[in-house]
Amino acid sequence: MTSYTLSPEGITPWGVTTPSLAAWRKGRPMTDTATQVEEAAAAAEFQLLVTPEGRADPYRHYDTLREMAPIHRSVLANGWLLTRYADCHAVLRDPRMVRGFVPAMDARFPDWRDHLAIARSERSMLNLDGPDHVRLRKLVVKTFTPRSVEQLRPRMEVFVDELLEPLAASGGGDIMEALAFPLPVRVIGELLGIPEQDQAPFRSLVQKLTAIFEITATPEMLKDADGAQRESDAYFSDLIDTKRARPGNDLLSRLLTTEDSDGRLTSGELRTLAQLLFAAGFETTTNLVGNAMLGLLAHPEQMDILRARPELYSTLPNELLRYDGTVQVVGRCAAEPVEVDGVVFEAGDLVFPIVGAGNRDPAMYDNPHALDVTRQDVRPLTFGGGLHFCIGAALAKAETEIVFRKLLERFGTIELVGEAPYRDRLTLRGPSVVPVALAAHRTAPSPRRSTASTLRAVPPAHLADEPVVASAQKTPHRPSPAPDVMPVRPAVDDSTWRTEYRTRLEQTPGTVGGDVASVAALLGRVPFFAGCGPAELDDLAATAYPIAFETDETLCVEGAESLECYVIAEGEAAVLIGGDEIATVGADDVVGERGPLLGALRTATVVARSHMLTYAVSRDRLQRLVNESASARASMEKVLGRRFGTSPAPP
Q: Does 549 bind ligand HEM (CB under 6 A)?
A: no
Q: Is 621 left (phi over 0), alpha (psi -120 to 50) or beta?
A: alpha
Q: Applying CB under 6 A, does 384 fall inside the site for ligand HEM?
A: yes
Name the segment binding ligand HEM (CB under 6 A); options: 167-175, 322-330, 411-419, 465-473.
322-330
Task: Give the containing element (helix H, strand E) for 620.
Answer: helix 619-628
Burial 601-613 (b: 16+ CB within 10 A, else e): ebbbbbbbbbbbb
Is 139 near ligand HEM (CB under 6 A)?
no
Residue 177's contacts (CB-CB under 8 Å, 6 or more residues apart) are 433
Q: Cα dist. 585→459, 466, 526, 555, 638 in Å? A: 47, 54, 13, 12, 16
Cross-strand bridge partners of residue 428 = 327
- Nearer of residues 365 and 383 to ligand HEM, judged by Cβ: 383
Looking at the Cβ atoms of 321 and 438, the one nearer to ligand HEM is 321
Question: Does the protein bind ligand HEM through residue 277 (CB under 6 A)?
Answer: yes
Q: Where does this chain touch ligand HEM (CB under 6 A) — which range of 242-250, 335-343, 392-400, 619-627?
A: 392-400
Q: Which of 205, 351, 395, 640 binds ligand HEM (CB under 6 A)?
A: 395
The dihedral over CA atoms of 439, 440, 441, 443, expressed in degrees to the nearest 10, equals 0
- List the Cα angle 373/379/384 in 5-degree steps: 125
List the one residue out of 343, 231, 207 whose CA is nearest residue 286. 207
Among the residue ranges 202-210, 221-229, 319-327, 601-609, the one whose residues contact ligand HEM (CB under 6 A): 319-327
Helix (H, G, I), strand (E, B) or coil at 281: helix
Q: Helical H runs in 78-122?
A: 85-93, 101-108, 116-121
Sole binder of ligand HEM in the list 327, 402, 414, 537 (CB under 6 A): 327
Going by C-alpha positions, the residue among 646, 69, 18, 617 that lies closest to residue 341 is 69
255 lies in the binding site for ligand HEM (CB under 6 A): no
Q: How far apart are CA 395 and CA 615, in angstroms?
A: 26
Query: Which of 81, 92, 217, 626 is close enough to bind ligand HEM by CB under 6 A?
Result: 92
Residues 329-358 that bind ligand HEM (CB under 6 A): 330
Kindly give the residue spans of alpha helices, DSSP state H, lying in 193-218: 202-209
Q: For ligand HEM, which residue of 100, 281, 358, 514 counts as binding (CB under 6 A)?
A: 281
Instruction: Please select the residue that binds ligand HEM; options are 74, 275, 284, 605, rule is CB under 6 A.
Output: 284
With CB under 6 A as the contact rule, the residue among 25, 72, 84, 137 that binds ligand HEM is 137
Check residue 215 for interaction with ligand HEM (CB under 6 A): no
Give 141 or 408: the residue with its C-beta nearer to ligand HEM.
Answer: 141
Cβ atoms of 77 and 13 closer than 8 Å: no
Say if residues 606 and 592 touch (Cβ distance below 8 Å): yes
Contacting ligand HEM (CB under 6 A), which of 62, 101, 383, 501?
A: 383
Of 216 and 326, CB closest to ligand HEM: 326
Q: What three-state secondary structure class fits 477?
A: coil
Cβ neighbours of residue 579 closer than 8 Å, sequence gap 6 or more: none
Per CB under 6 A, does 391 bind ligand HEM? yes
Nearer to ligand HEM (CB atom), residue 330 or residue 463: 330
Residue 141, CA distances (Å) to 145, 309, 566 in order: 7, 33, 19
- Counting contacts by CB under 6 A, is residue 125 touching ligand HEM? yes
User: By CB under 6 A, is residue 390 in contact with ligand HEM?
Assistant: yes
Pairwise CA distance, residues 223 & 115, whole Å: 7
Q: CB of 146: closest distance to ligand HEM in angstroms? A: 13
> Judged by CB under 6 A, which of 252, 343, 364, 396 binds ligand HEM?
396
Nearer to ligand HEM, 296 or 557 (CB): 296
Q: Which is nearer to ligand HEM, 384 or 476 (CB)?
A: 384
CA dist., res. 525 & res. 119, Å (int): 30
Tell the smallest beta-carbon distance from residue 280 to ligand HEM (Å). 4
State the nearest-atom distance from the C-beta of 390 to ligand HEM, in Å.
Answer: 3
Task: Say whether residue 189 binds ligand HEM (CB under 6 A).
Answer: no
Distance between CA 620 and CA 85 in Å, rounded?
A: 36
Q: Assign residue 493 a region: left if phi > 0, alpha if psi is -120 to 50, beta otherwise?
A: left
CB of 450 to ligand HEM, least distance (A): 29
Specify which residues 473 forms β-bridges with. none
From candidates 36, 302, 318, 326, binder to ligand HEM by CB under 6 A: 326
- Does 322 help bind ligand HEM (rule: CB under 6 A)? no
Minimum CB distance to ligand HEM, residue 189 (Å): 11
Three-state DSSP class for residue 503 = helix
Rounded to a whole number of angstroms, the minimum distance from the CB of residue 316 to ligand HEM is: 13
Applying CB under 6 A, the residues found at the interface with ligand HEM are 92, 125-126, 137, 144, 188, 276-277, 280-281, 284-285, 288, 325-327, 330, 382-386, 388-392, 395-396
